Structure 1
Amino acid sequence: MTRIKRLFRIAWVFSKYRLDEFIPLSDLPPFLRVLLALAPWHFFPQPKHSRGDRLRLALEELGPIFIKFGQILSTRRDLLPDDMALALAHLQDRVPPFPGSQAQAIIERSLGQPVGTLFQTFDSNPMASASVAQVHAATLLSGQSVVVKVIRPGIEKVINQDISLMRMMASALQRYWSEGRRLRPMDVVEDYEQTIHDELDMQREAANASQLRRNFDGSSLIYIPEIFWDYTKQSVLVMERIQGIPVADTDALRAAGVDMKVLAEKGVEIFFTQVFRDSFFHADMHPGNIFVDASNPQDPRYIAIDFGIVGTLAPEDQSYLARNLLAFFRRDYRQVAELHVQSGWVPAHTRVNEFEAAIRTVCEPIFERPLKEISFGHFLLRLFQTARRFEMEVQPQLVLLQKTLLNVEGLGRQLYPDLDLWSTAQPYLEAWMRKRIGPPGMFKALKEHLPSWLEQSPEMPQLVHDALLQIRDLNRPTGPDQATLDALQRAERSRQRNLRRTVLAVACIGGAWLTTQQVDWQSLQTIPVQGWILLAAGGWLLLGRSRSEL
């Protein structure tokens, strides 16, 4: 019964804001067009707001879960027109706080002790209230100031109910709308479901915060508050309370004497460090989650909070993304097109020449403008929109990355309008690529893979033996096979030879490493000749090993 009432409520709001205009009638089957033409929403007056504002207002009226969905949908610029995405980007959580007594009860139930025993002080009036949780100020028995984040009571039931309805509507769109399959509304709802359920787990958010804190331990770029694990459960998170200036309060930052250029450039460096060094990035870096430590105005430091959404990139995505960006910097559109095909972002049957021409058409007008006037985030958006014409499927990891980059770039230009993100990013990417493909990267790869090579070597004869036995059983079910015995002997000799090659290769590469200890990795030309010789010998031995295994 509750679900039916909720469905009627959604239908009422849908009609009130005349969201029927979003339905592509021409793409629907005739019987649905007739049904929708007789629908009751035609009796409602046409609202005066734009379509984006009408969608935003409807989501706000439907409550916190739809608001959160609208916020996430606003990041899907690959699916929505710009005007609608911009309207949804203004969504704010207009959720009244729940009583402090309920928050206290959740804390006591989760931690198993009274609030008076757990904390020296606890403020029952919330500091902030959002869709999923609200935050209270407290003091630990040690005197440490903390914030206590508490999940909204009953929110999981509401989420599951609303997601069930969203899935039903998305399924209808995907089935009856000609563009439905390409835009994949079911995938959008599933992404949202995963995100919202991740945000319901405070232990997951705490783990994200701990990882980021470890990645930036002692850094002058950004500070991540400490998590107090003894007080953190699935419904409750206790974190160090930070003191800083909200990053959106530019007047306060200027009054504190903060060097805005340095602050903006640090934001860019933080983003690329998270993406390419750590492959683990804070994916919700909007102004409400970022503060500034202005204790040293000439060297300010960011402070981040709210770690419910993080992104990661696989090593191959990291590499393809960096090579794509560097190719853009050099206007090598052919390589950009080829990289998209090689990475699988566009189908293998894509005509590279046509794709290259389309990319050039998008990029050349942009590059004719001064670099400081070019939006890096919107540039990627245009690229993804172009690639969509060539059947590029939605890449969730890249969409999240683009959303984060848009936040970072918008924040940077708000702080320092002359920010040149391109010139800030290019040296970092070039240094990262040199490190990845140079000797340090080779040593790192060797260090990672050598143990598994050595571990598998003793098992190779048995694996070969088992495989040959299976072949013998298929082809000659009875009787000994001299060829099989010969093959086993050859396999054993090959194993011993490969083991010797591996040991020699490690010795050579180790020698190369010793000869290059004083090398400046920014300039590969300074590597001594003997280092290259030893490195080449090690590589040749490993190559010989791999060939002998084929």
Structure 2
Amino acid sequence: MSSKRLYKIVKTFLQFGLDELLPEKYLPWYARIARRSLFWLRNKHRDKTKAQRFRLAIESLGPVFVKFGQMLSTRRDLLPDDFANELTLLQDKVPAFSGQEAEKIISTAIGANTFAETFINFEQTPLASASIAQVHTATMLHSDGEQAVVLKVLRPNIEKTILADITVMSFFAEIVARWLPDGKRLRPVEVVAEYKKTILEELDLNREAGNAIQLKRNFSQGRDSDKVLYVPEVYSEYCSKNVMVMERIYGIGVGEIDTLHSKNVDMKLLAERGVEVFFTQVFRDSFFHADMHPGNVFVDATNPQDPTWIAIDCGIVGTLNREDKRYLAENFVAFFNRDYRKVAQLHVDSGWVPSDTSVDEFEFAIRTVCEPIFNKPLSEISFGQVLINLFNTARRFNMEVQPQLVLLQKTLLYIEGLGRQLYPALDLWQTAKPFLENWVKEQMGVKAVFNKVKDNLPFWNEKLPEIPDLVYDYLKTNREAQRLQLSTLKQLQRQQQHHSKKVTILAVIATLAICLTISFT
């Protein structure tokens, strides 16, 4: 750990008064002395709240901490609302590194000759610059002609910088876990470990390319081919760990509401399609883009009455297994129907809360939190907030953090926020309920049984000829096992009989000896 970097972080924390988050009475004597000895590092922002100071400190520490703060803002199950709301204001705007250096890195990754022959009009001034990578535009030559593309390139030595900062974060996480009154509940060590895993995955652009290809394939099939969500084409032959090449898209940022209105985009349809995108990814494909913030989402308004969502930056994706997906869908439907008993039972059955949890008490806790929400008009109810309330309540009953559900919660909050921004009257419940009810029927009804049998037919077709042999082998093995057991049993009986004879003889001898002794006395 760099002592210089550590000093800068400590200095920043103290100058923003973040030491107040660790009450002095909980600190050991040596920590209190150390704090007072740094008399020149005092809080310079007393006019701001603790949450504001925390956000400003994160911003001043650079891109790695900013990205960590963005991730932390989604963990509303751990943070107070004021801290979570402040962290959502973090902007990942980072100065670009040299365009010449970027071109050199790309040329080396692709191959100097291939790069020179395939890519022309490379723009050294980046189109966008973020904490981990930056994007440059170019024209790609191929057999069909020219194609406008963007080339994403990782910042040089970024992995070294990230690992160094994560080491410092882990150091402070252990301090918080040990000394903060609420340290155990906040689980800071686990949160930093989760962040480390996520950000290191983002450092492999081959992984992002694979995710984008999968997501595009999922939405390029069926009657709505690419109508709901469009994912730019990835040119995987030119991709590597630190460079990614993909089609350039020309969309309107989803946050540019005035522009969308000026083009007469059907905002209601666009918002509803956002909901459809989310539930289709989660419940149909079990593979969802987990970083759909406004910077990664655009709108194709070529036909304003038939708008299409465009998603980029697939570095973070989430998946759900079949059981999680089924339990989640049933939870949503039970919430729609205000069946809190079923919600509580589903949490126990899924293993999300301990098996010895009192279903009655859990049901009462869920009703207490959620019933007031239903007194509001449906259009005023936040679907994401209901999910947060559910997780917070479940945590009181020792529900362990489910990483796949945290990503899901984050994505749902993004989608709902975008949907309500586009169309404030969006009724997420009414839009989602038919989709979920149909999905549950398909998974649990007669059609589901038929589909399961159909899906397993190739397996059974392969195994069917082997069944007579398997039955014969089983019976033969069972018969041999019975013979072996019978033989073992007889041997044990013989041993027992032999042992009994020995005991009898010894008993007779002992009796005679006692009698003789008595006679001679």
* Mean CA deviation greater in 145-154 or 439-448: 439-448
Q: Check 1:332–1:231 CA distance in 2 against 1; reply closer, same or farther (3 A cut).
A: same
Matched with 2:98 is: 99
Q: Does 1:123 align with 2:123?
A: yes
Q: How far apart, in 1, do the equivalents of 2:482 and 2:53 lie?
A: 68
SS of corresponding position for 2:20: helix
Instruction: Specify which of 375, 381, 395 is matched with residue 374 of structure 1.
Output: 381
Q: Check 1:336–1:479 CA distance in 2 against 1; reply closer, same or farther (3 A cut).
A: same
Give matches, 1:521-536, under 5 Å.
none
How far the C-alpha of 1:34 sits from its partner, in A, is 3.9
Q: How far apart, in 1, do the equivalents of 2:173 and 2:249 lie?
A: 41
Matched with 2:148 is: 145
Q: Which amino acid aligns with 1:44?
A: R
Instruction: Specify which of 268, 280, 291 is matched with residue 275 of structure 2.
Output: 268
How far the C-alpha of 1:42 sits from its partner, in A, is 8.2
SS of corresponding position for 1:281: strand
How far the C-alpha of 1:18 sits from its partner, in A, is 1.0
Q: Which amino acid aligns with 1:54?
A: R
Q: In 2, are the aligned partners of 1:292 and 1:302 still within 8 Å (CA)?
A: yes
Q: How far apart, in 1, do the equivalents of 2:417 and 2:39 lie?
A: 38
Q: Check 1:32–1:463 CA distance in 2 against 1; reply closer, same or farther (3 A cut).
A: farther
How far the C-alpha of 1:442 sits from its partner, in A, is 1.3
Q: Does 1:160 align with 2:163?
A: yes
Q: How far apart, in 2, do the equivalents of 1:84 and 1:180 lie?
A: 16
Matched with 2:12 is: 13
Q: Which amino acid aligns with 2:415?
A: V
Give matches, 1:367-516, under 5 Å.
367-452=374-459, 455=463, 457=467
Q: In 2, are the aligned partners of 1:15 and 1:40 still within 8 Å (CA)?
A: no
Please give the per-residue CA displacement for 1:337-366, whole angstroms capped at 9, x wherever unaligned.
Answer: 111111111111111111111111111111
Q: How far apart, in 2, do the equivalents of 1:73 and 1:194 lie?
A: 14
Q: Check 1:146–1:334 CA distance in 2 against 1; reply closer, same or farther (3 A cut).
A: same
Q: How many equivalent pairs are there?
A: 479
Q: Check 1:462–1:194 CA distance in 2 against 1; reply closer, same or farther (3 A cut).
A: farther
Matched with 1:45 is: 43
Q: In 2, are the aligned partners of 1:204 and 1:308 still within 8 Å (CA)?
A: yes
SS of corresponding position for 1:181: helix
Q: How far apart, in 2, do the equivalents of 1:4 and 1:184 lie?
A: 26
Please give the per-residue CA displacement for 1:48-106, whole angstroms capped at 9, x wherever unaligned.
Answer: 22222211111111111111111111111111111111111111123110001110111
Q: Which amino acid aligns with 1:236?
A: V
Matched with 1:243 is: 250
Q: Which amino acid aligns with 1:334?
A: R
How far the C-alpha of 1:14 sits from its partner, in A, is 1.1
* Mean CA deviation greater in 35-44 or 372-381: 35-44
Q: Check 1:471–1:292 CA distance in 2 against 1; reply closer, same or farther (3 A cut).
A: farther
Q: Which amino acid aligns with 1:399?
A: V
How far the C-alpha of 1:37 sits from its partner, in A, is 5.7
Q: Does 1:309 align with 2:316?
A: yes
How far the C-alpha of 1:447 sits from its partner, in A, is 3.4
SS of corresponding position for 2:232: coil
Q: In 1, are the aligned partners of 2:124 and 2:136 still within 8 Å (CA)?
A: yes
Matched with 2:262 is: 255
How far the C-alpha of 1:277 sits from its partner, in A, is 0.3
Q: How far apart, in 2, do the equivalents of 1:469 and 1:31 lie?
A: 74
How far the C-alpha of 1:177 sits from its partner, in A, is 4.2
SS of corresponding position for 1:122: coil
TM-score under structure 2 length normalisation: 0.86
Please give the per-residue CA displacement for 1:441-496, whole angstroms capped at 9, x wherever unaligned.
Answer: 2123223445555548555765787798789889967999xxxxxxxxxxxxxxxx
Q: Does 1:202 align with 2:201?
A: no
Give the fraction of aligned pairs with identical amino acids, expressed as a percent: 54
Structure 2: which 5+ residue stretches go unaligned? 492-521
How far the C-alpha of 1:21 sits from its partner, in A, is 1.7
Q: How far apart, in 2, do the equivalents of 1:91 and 1:468 lie?
A: 71
SS of corresponding position for 2:112: coil
Q: Does 1:215 align with 2:214?
A: no
Q: Check 1:117–1:478 CA distance in 2 against 1; reply closer, same or farther (3 A cut).
A: farther
Matched with 1:23 is: 22
Q: Which amino acid aligns with 1:317?
A: D
Matched with 1:284 is: 291
Q: Check 1:466–1:9 CA distance in 2 against 1; reply closer, same or farther (3 A cut).
A: farther
SS of corresponding position for 2:370: helix
Q: Check 1:351–1:241 CA distance in 2 against 1; reply closer, same or farther (3 A cut).
A: same
Q: In 1, are the aligned partners of 2:22 and 2:179 still within 8 Å (CA)?
A: no
Please give the per-residue CA displacement for 1:146-171, whole angstroms capped at 9, x wherever unaligned.
Answer: 00000000100011111112222223
Q: Check 1:36–1:4 CA distance in 2 against 1; reply closer, same or farther (3 A cut).
A: closer
Q: In 2, are the aligned partners of 1:78 and 1:385 still within 8 Å (CA)?
A: yes
Q: How far apart, in 1, do the equivalents of 2:167 and 2:52 lie?
A: 25
Q: Check 1:295–1:175 CA distance in 2 against 1; reply closer, same or farther (3 A cut).
A: same
Matched with 1:136 is: 136
Q: Which amino acid aligns with 2:271?
A: A
How far the C-alpha of 1:183 sits from its partner, in A, is 2.7
Instruction: Specify which of 346, 358, 370 is matched with residue 353 of structure 2.
Output: 346
**Alpha-carbon RMSD:** 2.5
Q: How far apart, in 2, do the equivalents of 1:202 and 1:97 lie?
A: 19
Please give the per-residue CA displacement for 1:426-454, whole angstroms capped at 9, x wherever unaligned.
Answer: 00001101111123321232234455555
Matched with 1:225 is: 232
Q: Which amino acid aligns with 2:129?
A: S
Q: How far apart, in 1, do the equivalents of 2:184 and 2:483 lie?
A: 49
Matched with 1:538 is: none
Q: How far apart, in 1, do the equivalents of 2:284 and 2:107 lie?
A: 40
Q: Does 1:173 align with 2:173?
A: no
Q: Check 1:470–1:171 CA distance in 2 against 1; reply closer, same or farther (3 A cut).
A: farther
Q: In 1, are the aligned partners of 2:331 and 2:346 still within 8 Å (CA)?
A: yes
Q: In 2, are the aligned partners of 1:18 and 1:41 still within 8 Å (CA)?
A: no
Instruction: Specify which of 325, 344, 353 is matched with residue 318 of structure 1.
Output: 325
* Mean CA deviation greater in 41-50 or 55-64: 41-50
TM-score under structure 1 length normalisation: 0.82
Q: Which amino acid aligns with 2:38?
A: P
Structure 1: which 5+ residue stretches go unaligned? 481-550
How far the C-alpha of 1:216 sits from its partner, in A, is 0.4
